[in-house]
Structure 1
Amino acid sequence: MKMLQKIQIAMVLMLATAFAQGAHHEGGHDEMPTQNIVEIAAGNPDFSTLVAAVQAAGLVDVLAGEGPFTVFAPTNAAFAKLPEGTVETLLLPENKDQLTAVLTYHVVAGKVMAAEVVTIDSAATVQGEAVSISTSDAGVMVDGAMVVMTDIEALNGVIHVIDTVILPGS
Structure 2
Amino acid sequence: MTLHKFTTGVAMAALLGLGACEKAAKEEAAPTKAAKEAAGDSTIAQGLGDAIKFAAAAKAAGVDLTLGGPGPYTVLVPTDAAFDKMPAGALDGLMKPDARAELTGVLSYHVLPGAILTADIAKAVEAGGGKTQLQTMGGGTLTATKDGDAIVLSDSAGTKARLIGADEKKSNGVIHRIDAVLMPS
TM-score (norm 1): 0.78
* Unaligned runs of at least 5 residues, structure 2: 1-36, 125-131, 155-159
Residue 170 of structure 2 aligns with which residue?
154
| Correspondence for 1:166 | 182
> Of the candidates 132, 148, 151, which is equivalent to residue 137 of structure 1?
148
Give unmatched runs, 5+ long, in structure 1: 1-29
C-alpha separation between the residues in 2 aligned to 1:131 and 1:32?
A: 25
Give CA deviations for 1:36-87 in whole Å, capped at 9, x if unaligned.
001010xx22x00000000111111111100000001101001000001011
SS in 2 for 1:152: strand
Aligned mates of 1:75, 1:39 — CA distance in 2: 16
Change (3 A) 1:65 1:133: same
Alpha-carbon offset, residue 138 of structure 1: 5.9
Q: CA deviation at 1:117?
A: 1.0
Q: Following TM superposition, by how much is the alpha carbon of 1:99 offset from its aligned partner in structure 2, in angstroms?
A: 0.3
Please give the per-residue CA displacement for 1:71-130, whole angstroms capped at 9, x wherever unaligned.
011010010000010110000000001100000000001000111011231111000011
The CA distance in 2 between the partners of 1:77 and 1:118, in whole Å, is 25
Alpha-carbon RMSD across the aligned residues, in angstroms, is: 1.3
Structure 1 residue ranges, 4+ long, deviating more than 3 angstroms after superposition:
none
Which structure 2 residues correspond to residues 28-107 of structure 1 after superposition, within 5 A? 32-41=39-48, 44-45=49-50, 47-107=51-111
Deviations 1:12-40 (A, max 9, x none): xxxxxxxxxxxxxxxxxx86412000101
**Following the alignment from structure 1 to structure 2, what is the Cα–Cα distance between the partners of residues 60 and 32?**
19
The CA distance in 1 between the partners of 2:59 and 2:89, in whole Å, is: 18
Aligned residues: 137
- Once the two structures are TM-superposed, the CA of residue 136 in structure 1 deviates from its matched residue by 2.1
